[in-house]
Amino acid sequence: MKKCKHCKEPFKPLNAKQKHCLKKECVNAWVLEANNKAWNAEKKRLKEGLETVSELTKKTQKHVNDYIRERDRGKDCISCDKPLKGKFDAGHYFESSRYPSVRFDESNIHGQCVNCNKHRHGNLIEYQVGIEKRIGGLELFDLHQKAHEKRVYTKEELRSITEEYKKKKKNLQKQNK
């Protein structure tokens, strides 16, 4: 015997998946629950279709930054070499708003203490020294060239980048356990 999900009374199910008894109000509750699930799925699909490039860019940046924070956990600040403890930023060498071509480039984004990133406006002179140590002079040169290219992202590209970085963060978290 199972208990009905709606009225909580015991009943004998017709199959293993049955969660409601066959009283009229319980069946109605089950139908309403199924309709709500379908509507919520449809609403989510519609909402995603209405997202603007700007909204998707912010969402993508959040996921990329989350990945960078996970990647750089336990390292030192790219600018001042102090250990990154607690809350820290994913600092961009080339500003994300002015250089969209490298906005999501992992070579351009590194763990940075809040003091250097926010209060010292990126501490860019020291950032340049730190980034050259981390990625090397040749890759830094390539990053400079790439930063000055024109780049416009489509909604599909942004969704794809978001999914890629969600997976990368999840894999990194598994590795770090």
Same domain, 74 and 155: yes
d(CA 128, CA 115): 16
Q: Determine the 3-state secondary structure of 123 from DSSP.
A: coil
What's the pLDDT tens digit per position in 127-166?
A: 999 999 999 999 999 999 999 999 999 999 999 999 999 9
**Residue-number span of the structural domain to which 13 is assigned:** 2-48
Count of domains in the chain?
2
Same domain, 146 and 79: yes
For 53, 82, 93, 106, the CA distances from 128, given in Å and listed in that order, are: 30, 16, 8, 15
pTM: 0.76
* Selection from 125, 93, 129 nearest residue 111 by Cα: 93
Same domain, 151 and 76: yes
Same domain, 27 and 77: no
d(CA 109, CA 122): 11
What's the pLDDT tens digit per position in 77-92?
A: 999 999 998 999 999 9
